[in-house]
Structure 1
Amino acid sequence: MTTTQGGPPRRPSITDVARRAGVSVGTVSNVLNRPDNVAPATRERVRSAIADLGFVRNASARQLRAGVIRTVGAVVLDIANPFYTEVVRGIEDRISADDYTLLLSASDEDTAREARYLRLQEEHGVHGVIISPTQASMAPVLAMHERGVRIVLLDVPHEPVPVSSVGVDDARGAALAVNHLLELGHRRIGLVNGPDTIRPCVARRHGVRAALVAAGLDPQDVLTEVTVGALTMDAGAVGMSRVLALPPDRRPTATFCVNDLMAVGALGALRRARVPVPSAMAVVGYDDIPIASLVTVPLTTVHQPTHTLGWTAADLLLRVGTDGTGADPQRVVFQPELVVRESTAGG
């Protein structure tokens, strides 16, 4: 590391390496990029200078000169949610194979925050963006697409969109959960849901209601929906407390929470209220995050292939504009699976 008088250490440059090795800057560049074109003795002298100085090439500057940015952007709803942690691992596993890095942002389910991160990632010049959108409207994302930004949605959009998407059939997943509860004999079912600005919340509500209608039941008679402001454990506890506050003749005997974090919070609220699970209240979650099988009463939940979702989304993004395959929008929809555990007494 070189220094400047009276200032902080200065990052060694390719010129410093050339000076130390007694060669031209072009020779150093050849050692870094085309080493077979340099005589072995000269190549070794340059590499020794690189090691002595602690030189690290400036990949950003090199990519800008080449007109290629090897960074992929991702905007997810909540990085604290283990579901998205595993999705991001899938993204990184795919892009690292092609020497891309990840610029990750979390919208925290806030539409203004999402818009800001999308703008910053576009300004950064990322290769493309993988996004789990918050808004019911696709307008901000589609505006980026129209400006030439590659987009892949971690979502199953309700309407046709001109961008690729990778997701799970959320309506079917919710229907699996409700059908399970109906098979167990429950006829008063709670739904602890998040805000309508989060697209999976809308899809999962639709799946719940469709399953009830398909079973010949009136959702108005069977379903009690409680909407909370976030998809967190605290919000799930609040939602379950509101369910428990209902009169006994209206209180559900089973509750479906639209994600596992909320379901874990709901289980905590039931424990504090000394309501036994599942004999007095059955609980189903959605996502099958690792903690779902580790809580005191293991959670029945809807499994999603989280790592595969991220890997597939990244694969679609990287294939756009490289070999011509994937230039047309593709829609990949995985099917969810119900995992039955003790929280519904069906295991």
Structure 2
Amino acid sequence: MANREGLRRSGMREVAQAAGVSVSTVANVLSRPSIVAPPTRRRVEQAMAAVGYVPHGPARQLRGLPSPIVGSVTLDLANPFYAELNRGIEDALSEAGCLVLACSTDLQSAKERQLLALLQEQAVRGIIISPIDPDPTALLQVSRRGTPVILIDHPRRQLDLCAVAVDDVVGGELAAEHLLSLGHRRIAFLAGAIDPGPVARRREGARRVLAAAGVDPADALVDIRMSDHPRSSVSVAAQAVEQILATRPALTAIICLNDTAALGVLEGLHTAGVRVPDDISVVGYDDLHFAARLSPALTTVHQPKHQLGRAAAELLLDEEHPDHTHREVHFRPTLRVRASTAPPPRRR
């Protein structure tokens, strides 16, 4: 053990000499990279690569040094929204010498608790999570044991944790205001079988706008749930169109919980011979990379996904500073009007 430690110190001295810095600077790059100037950090990292120096993970833990691994726990890695969000997390953390371990809860509370336990066992540097479990006990336990936890799209009013969020109530308002301005008064809100907080807040925003306009939400806004599968897959959304057309033939617009569901809705309407937007208008949510390339191009509510992920990562790194205070970073969504929305047909 002592011999290995001696070799480690020797290796650090070799890196320091190659980079033209002190051994303590090399140690800071390994343990607290955020306090080292980026040019110096890059020079040390290049020297490590040149001399073949690899920090030993277990040794870092024994010496009380933080792990370079950060856990990112999201609802569904198959959803492109989380791919873009994780890219923002990774871009920010890679600059600090960290590696992101991305996990998915598949919208299951039990799996979320299992992942939290596994990540804590690995002594990760921190956890960035979009939680599904309504019970925050597991999250709070992780935080109390010293692992920083950053929430995504989850109000921190009742939790003493940092959070980043997009105002989903405003997002729902934007979608409903746009459709009302076009003349729509019979609108479907397509949600998933499991209703995470962000989707519920979007629906609430839409209801507020309708009520403020003197339109009874109970008559104007119909909830349609994709009850066969917990995920908002394209095929399940396409199947939901059959339910919409069969039960609510007078509907003139559909607000979808996300762009993936909207893609399925467009597919289902096309199969049924329904024209978009001539017969029914469709609004998505997220503004994913494919939204502008669909036919017709999708009107959608834009979320700053990369910025959201980067802000979460920056909050996590900031937790290492002694003067850190928990806070919430807010982003405002915007509407992207494209070709999938138009005034309702007169015959309806």
**TM-score (structure 1 length as normaliser):** 0.83
Match of 2:254 in 1: 255
Match of 2:268 in 1: 269
The answer on whether the counterparts of 1:175 and 1:207 sit within 8 Å (CA) in structure 2 is yes
Give per-residue Cα distances to partners, 1:282-325, cap 9 Å, x unaligned: 00000000111111211000001110000000000011032x34
Give per-residue Cα distances to partners, 1:73-118, cap 9 Å, x unaligned: 1101111211111111111111111101111101122222222111
Distance 1:328 1:189, change over 3 A: same
- Is residue 2:173 matched to residue 1:175? yes
The answer on whether the counterparts of 1:136 and 1:198 sit within 8 Å (CA) in structure 2 is no
For residue 224 of structure 1, report the CA deviation from its aligned partner.
1.0
Equivalent residue in structure 2 for 1:334, among 317, 331, 335: 331
Which moved further from structure 2: 138-147 or 102-111? 138-147
Distance 1:121 1:165, change over 3 A: same
Amino acid at match of 1:126: V
When the two chains are superposed, the root-mean-square deviation of aligned CA atoms in Å is 2.6
For residue 342 of structure 1, report the CA deviation from its aligned partner.
0.4
Equivalent residue in structure 1 for 2:13, among 24, 30, 39: 30
Counterpart mapping for 1:262-301 below 5 A:
262-301=261-300
Distance 1:129 1:28, change over 3 A: closer
Distance 1:28 1:122, change over 3 A: closer
For residue 264 of structure 1, report the CA deviation from its aligned partner.
0.5
Distance 1:197 1:112, change over 3 A: farther
Number of corresponding residues: 311
Match of 2:314 in 1: 315
Match of 1:104 in 2: 102
Which moved further from structure 2: 130-139 or 214-223? 130-139
Amino acid at match of 2:99: T
Equivalent residue in structure 1 for 2:77, among 71, 76, 79: 79
The answer on whether the counterparts of 1:87 and 1:309 sit within 8 Å (CA) in structure 2 is yes
| Paired residue secondary structure (2:165) | strand
For residue 34 of structure 1, report the CA deviation from its aligned partner.
5.1
The answer on whether the counterparts of 2:156 and 2:162 sit within 8 Å (CA) in structure 1 is no
For residue 142 of structure 1, report the CA deviation from its aligned partner.
2.2
The answer on whether the counterparts of 1:191 and 1:256 sit within 8 Å (CA) in structure 2 is yes
Give per-residue Cα distances to partners, 1:211-237, cap 9 Å, x unaligned: 211111111111110112322212321
| Paired residue secondary structure (1:104) | strand
Distance 1:28 1:126, change over 3 A: closer
Give per-residue Cα distances to partners, 1:187-246, cap 9 Å, x unaligned: 100000124551212111211211211111111111110112322212321322211112
Structure 1: gaps of 5 or more residues: 1-13, 19-23, 39-49
Distance 1:247 1:178, change over 3 A: closer
How far apart are the structure 2 equivalents of 1:65 and 1:140? 26
How far apart are the structure 1 equivalents of 2:85 and 2:329? 15
For residue 158 of structure 1, report the CA deviation from its aligned partner.
7.0
For residue 26 of structure 1, report the CA deviation from its aligned partner.
5.1
- Is residue 2:201 matched to residue 1:203? yes
Amino acid at match of 1:200: P
Amino acid at match of 1:94: A
Counterpart mapping for 1:169-248 below 5 A:
169-228=167-226, 229-248=230-249
Superposed structure 1 runs of 4+ greater than 3 Å apart: 24-29, 32-38
Match of 1:9 in 2: none
The answer on whether the counterparts of 2:11 and 2:53 sit within 8 Å (CA) in structure 1 is no
Distance 1:171 1:136, change over 3 A: farther
Match of 1:130 in 2: 128
Structure 2: gaps of 5 or more residues: 23-48, 344-348
The answer on whether the counterparts of 1:195 and 1:201 sit within 8 Å (CA) in structure 2 is no
**TM-score (structure 2 length as normaliser):** 0.82
